[in-house]
Structure 1
Amino acid sequence: MAAYRPGVLIGNWNEEAFLEEDRLRDFMHKRERGELLIQKINKLQDNLLKKIQLSVSKDGFVHFGDTVMLLNPANKSSEKNCPGVCISLTLAINLDEISVYSAKSLQAPCGVSAAESVDPVGRNTFCILSVDGGAVSEPIRFGQNFVLGTTGGFSDQVLYLASDHKSFMRFAKKSYLQQVFLTDELSYLTCWQATFLDPQLRLEYEGFPVPANSKIIITHCRTNRSLAVPRNFWTRSYFGKEYEVICHTYLDSHKAEEDKNYWVIVTGNPSDEGGTMIDRPNPHPRGIRKNEFCEET
C-alpha cells in the first residue's frame, strides 16, 4: 500500500480553497466600495482633521453663514485645576473608538468636548445658521436665536449643537450636569443666544451686533443655562484626553458668570489665508492670543 507524500492534498482541501476564494472576492468587493475598516477610519480622519478656512469678518461682527471656531479662552480656573497648564480650548466633535470603527460618517447623537488644538480643522469648526429668517451675511445680534452646525469635512451631513434638561437617563458622564451633544434634528433644543459679558450692560446691548473675537456668553434657549468648560473633568475620545463640555451657569459672588462660561467666536485672519485672528499680533497685552495662556489677576 502506497503512503501519502507531503504534496498530496488530504482533508477538506477543496472546501478550504473555495472559502479562500470567497474571502478574496468579499475583500475586493468591500475595497471597491470603500467599506474596509481601514478605509472608513482614513476617510473619517481625513474629514475631521481636514484644514478649514474660517470666514473673515470685514466689519468686526459675527454673521449668519460664517464658519468659525468657538474658543474657551485661557483663564484663572484652568491654572487652579491644572497647575502649570493654562491654555485656550476649542469646542470639537468627540468620537469614541467604537464610533470610528463602526461608521464612515458621523452618527447622531454625537458627543462634543473641548480640545487643546486651536488650529481650524473639520472637527472644531462650526457654521452659524439662522432659525428666525435671518439672511446669510446679516450680523447676529445679542438675544437673537442661532444654530451651530458642524462642518466636519462632510459636505452632505450637518449635525447641530444641542442640549436638554438633565434627567435620570440623560446627563454629562463626568460632572453629572446638563449634557451637550450633537443631533441631526433641528428643534428648540438646538437654539442658542449670545449674551453680553457684563451683566450690568446686557439690557443696553440687547439687539446690538455680536462682535467677533471678543468674550461673550453663549446661552441655551430652552434651559437658559450657559455653555461651559469646567476644566476639571476629563473625557477620553479617539483623539485622546480632552475636557468635558456642559451647559451650566457658574456665578461668582457678584452674580456674574465665571470664566468657565466665557467664549470667543474666532474668525479668519484676513492677512493670512488659513490663519485665525488669535494668530495675529495683538498690541493690547490683555487680548486673546494663541500663545497667551493666563490672564492677569
Structure 2
Amino acid sequence: MAAYSPRVLLGNWEEVLRQEEIQLSVSKDGFIHFGDTVMLLNPDKKSSVENHPGAHGSLSLAIYLDITSVYSVESLQGPCGVSAVEALDPVGRNTFCILSVDGSAVGEPIRFGQNFGLGTTGGVSDQMFYLASDHKSFTRFAKISCLQEVFLTDELSFLTCWQANFLDPQLRLEYEGLPVPANSKIVITHCHTNRSLAIPRNFWTRSYFGKEHEVICHTYLDSHKAEEDKNYWVIVTGNPSDEGGTMINTANPHPGGTGKNEFSEET
C-alpha cells in the first residue's frame, strides 16, 4: 500500500494549480500601476540566524487553501485565510491585482501614501477576494501568533485599503506622492489600523501543500524606529525579456538603489 502524503490527497488539484500559471504585468516605466498583476514577496533574509526551515528564503503572499478548498474550487468563500509560501513562480494562489479605491484610472502609477487595494486574480476561484485586516479583538486574531489577523474578504471596504511607504522612515515624507517603484523593497501599511503587513517567519500554519508561514499585520521596529525586514515587501512584475518570467532576480533594494541583485546567493 502506498504511503499517505499530501501529494496523494491532492491528486489532480495540485496539477491544476501548477497549470494555472499567471503572467505578471510588465512595467515599462519601472513603477507599479493600478490594474497590474503582481506577486508580493517578503525578500530573502540573508542575515537571519534562525535555524528553522524557510527562515532565510524569499516568501510570496498566497491564498491559504484548506481541505474544503482543495476538493472544490467553487467552495472557496470569504473570509478566507492567507499564508506565505516558498513558491516563487506566479500561479493562481500567489498573484494579486493592484486595485484603485479612490477613482484613479487603470494604468496610472500608484504613489507612496496613496490608498490601494489588493485583489485575487481568479486563478483559484472565479470570485474576487480582497486582502484585508482589522483590529485585534477577542474573536478576531491570528490563530498562531495571536496578533492582528490578515485575511481575504469578498467585500470592499475601509478594511481592504493599504498604502505603500518608502523603506527609510527618515525619507518617507520626502517620497510621499511619488510613484512606487516595481521590484524594490517597500513597507505596506494597513490604512485602518496603521499596522504594517508582516511575516514573522517563526509562526507556522499547515495547509495541504505542507508548512506555510503565518501572515499578520504588526509593525516591527528596530532601535532606530525603522521597520525590520519582517515588514519588507517587494511588488514583483514580469520580465519583459522572458515571457512568463519575473523580475525577482533583478530587484533593487530601494528606489534609486545600486541595482544589486537582492535575491541572488552572491554577496
Q: TM-score range by the shorter chain?
A: 0.7 to 0.9
Structure 1's 77 and 190: CA in aligned 2 closer, same or farther, altered over 3 A? farther
* RMSD, aligned CA: 2.6
- CA shift in 2, pair 1:125/1:159, >3 Å: same
Name the structure where helix makes up a greater proportion of residues.
1
2:162 alignment partner, one of 181, 192, 198? 192
Q: For residues 233 and 43 of structure 1, do their structure 2 counterparts lie closer, same or farther at Cα, with a shift above 3 Å needed?
A: closer
Shift of 1:98: 3.2
Cα distance, 1:85 vs. partner? 5.0
Aligned counterpart for 2:218 among listed residues 225, 248, 256: 248
One-letter amino acid matched to 1:292:
E
Query: Following TM superposition, by how much is the alpha carbon of 1:153 offset from its aligned partner in structure 2, in angstroms?
Result: 1.2
Q: In structure 2, how many angstroms separate the alpha carbons of the residues matched to 1:130 and 1:52?
A: 21
The Cα of 1:95 is off from its aligned counterpart by 1.1
* 1:119-177 deviation per Cα after TM superposition (whole angstroms, max 9, x unaligned): 00010000000000110000000000000000141574210000000000110011000
Task: Give me the whole-angstrom Cα distance separating, in 1, the residues matched to 2:82 and 2:19.
Answer: 15
**Match of residue 188, structure 2, among 218, 232, 248:** 218
Larger Rg: 1
- The answer to whether the 8 Å contact 1:269/1:280 transfers is no
Deviation string for 1:192-227 (max 9, x for gaps)? 000000000011001000000000000000000000
Deviation at residue 241 of structure 1 after TM alignment:
0.4
User: SS at 1:173's partner residue?
Assistant: coil
Name 2:108's counterpart in structure 1: 138
2-structure distance, mates of 1:93, 1:254: 33
Q: Does the 8 Å contact 2:73/2:124 carry over to 1?
A: no
Displacement, 1:43?
A: 6.3
**What is the CA deviation profile of residues 21-44 of structure 1, one whole-angstrom value per residue up to 9, with x for unaligned ones?**
xxxxxxxxxxxxxxxxxxx98468
Return 5+ residue gaps in structure 2 as ranges. Answer: 1-9, 253-257
Does the C-alpha gap of structure 1 residues 145 and 103 become closer, same or farther in structure 2, counting only changes over 3 Å? same
Matched-pair contact (CA < 8 Å) for 1:269–1:279: no
Q: Secondary structure at the match of 1:169?
A: coil
**Aligned-residue offset at 1:96:** 1.3
CA distance 1:147–1:45, shift in 2 (3 Å): farther
Change (3 A) 1:79 1:120: farther
- Give the letter for the 1:200 counterpart: Q
Distance 2:236 2:122 in 1: 17
- Does residue 117 (structure 1) correspond to residue 87 (structure 2)? The answer is yes
Q: What TM-score does the superposition give when structure 2 sets the normalisation length?
A: 0.88
Identity %: 77
Aligned-pair distance for 1:239? 1.4
Unaligned regions of 5+ residues in structure 1, if any?
1-39
- Is this contact kept in 2: 1:78–1:87, CA < 8 A? no
Question: Is the 8 Å Cα contact of residues 69 and 267 (structure 1) preserved in structure 2?
Answer: yes
Secondary structure of the corresponding residue to residue 50 of structure 2: helix
- CA distance in 2: counterparts of 1:128 and 1:78, whole angstroms: 30
Residue 107 (structure 1) shift: 1.2
Aligned partners of 1:248 and 1:239: how far apart in 2?
Answer: 26
Aligned to 1:292: 265
Residue from 255, 270, 286 that aligns with 2:240 = 270
Rounded to whole Å, the distance in 2 between the matches of 1:263 and 1:145 is 16
Corresponding position: 1:60 with 2:30: yes
Cα distance, 1:83–1:228 mapped onto 2, change above 3 Å: same
> 1:168 is matched by which residue type in structure 2?
F
Residue type of the partner of 1:62? I
Amino acid at match of 1:54: L
Q: 1:238 offset after TM fit, Å? A: 1.7
Distance 1:195 1:90 in 2: 19
Shift of 1:265: 0.2
The Cα of 1:105 is off from its aligned counterpart by 4.4
The change in CA–CA distance for 1:254 and 1:118 in structure 2 (over 3 A counts) is: same
Tell me if the contact between 1:48 and 1:153 (Cα under 8 Å) persists in the aligned partners: no
User: Does the alignment pair 1:50 with 2:24?
Assistant: no
1:260 pairs with 2:230: yes
- SS for the counterpart of 1:104 is helix
TM-score, length-normalised on structure 1? 0.79
